[in-house]
Amino acid sequence: MTDTVDQQIIRRLQGEFPLVSAPYRVLADEIGIAEAELLARLQRMKTAGILRKMGAVLQHRVAGFHGNALCCWQVPAAAVAGVVAQLVGRPAISHVYLRQPQEQWPYNLYTVFHAHTREECLAQIERTAQELNLTDYRVLFSRKNWKRSQLVLLRESSEE
């Protein structure tokens, strides 16, 4: 469980990360704790599974990745674990989801592929389908992006 200091840390980490030579010192000063305490709390939250990772957020379109698609796969239930194990390590795939298939839409496994071009993205999807022996799938390219924002789970109490 988190205390109020942990919650302050989480709130602060959901914002911009200081791009300075000693970012954790800056964060600790803003929160009002010692840098060593901040690092210890981050390590504890990581060990407890509260904090999974910290990293840069790439604006993929600005970085030149314009071929982005949601690929919907129909995978037999008995094969899902093996297929997922092979999908999660592929660098072109950012997301892998399992969902309940519906009567009119039988796809149960969803992946998001990223490539520089639409053609490159399709080639990656086709190669993946071939390598994993998957024949029933649909590719949905984005037409327009209306919202893409960071999920903020803990807000200041005045914002909640």
Same domain, 130 and 85: yes
| Residue 16 located in a structural domain | yes
- Contact indicator for 113, 93 with CB cutoff of 8 Å: yes
| Residue 116 located in a structural domain | yes
Same domain, 13 and 72: no
pLDDT in single tens digits along all 160 residues of the chain: 578 999 999 989 888 889 999 999 999 999 999 999 999 999 999 999 988 888 777 676 777 777 899 999 999 999 999 999 999 999 999 999 999 999 999 999 999 999 999 999 999 999 999 999 999 999 999 887 776 666 666 666 555 4
Same domain, 23 and 88: no
Distance of alpha carbon 115 from alpha carbon 138, whole angstroms? 17
| Residue 151 located in a structural domain | no
| Residue 54 located in a structural domain | no
Domain total for the chain? 2
List the domain range (segments joined by +) for residue 109.
67-141
Pairing relationship of beta strands 109-115 and 137-141 according to DSSP bridges: unpaired
